[in-house]
Structure 1
């Protein structure tokens, strides 16, 4: 298991196990990250997973298949993020998009172009 993609799959599996272990009463608990309670940390982790999975999919000609409910939650959290995250380089300026897809809209709001495609000639695959 020396390849990074193999290690990523193991890390994602463990993150999923930990997420399933969270109970509703724990959502307001403190975390080692002082700016986040458990709910905010889970939302941040989900944003990272969804947005960077989209990056990985776009770069490797794959199609991410997040349910609209998940993409909508990420979109809502991004819409509520204040401008300090943009000025601190957490996100780039939003990219205009005519898409109604919640994932495309979240990707665009995070400063990514939902239409971005790699120049690689490898064949398409899917998750």
Structure 2
């Protein structure tokens, strides 16, 4: 069974979001998503300094099985990307919630995350798949 962390917010499209102490939001894909994708071979993240919008495509993750769009759970400015994924995309499989994060956003309104799924609701989505 996939790990679902209770402190995170989730999208039904399998992204997770973590609000950091400084108010920024770190975004990645869930353990369930990386398992479904299989071996991740490439990650495309947005450019630092670019803007992302809630629910809009912000990047791509490719595996040996498929390519999937990554959607932003918040609107804001991209302030960091996980450059380690360029050389080691398999980090997403090994550590989807810690070392395998994709990008960080300075949100214009962190309350947008109120619309995201709780861990329990996300687990129900995964159970239905």
* TM-score bucket (shorter structure): under 0.3
TM-score, with structure 1 as normaliser = 0.24
Larger Rg: 1
The structure that is helix-richer by fraction is 1
TM-score, with structure 2 as normaliser = 0.24
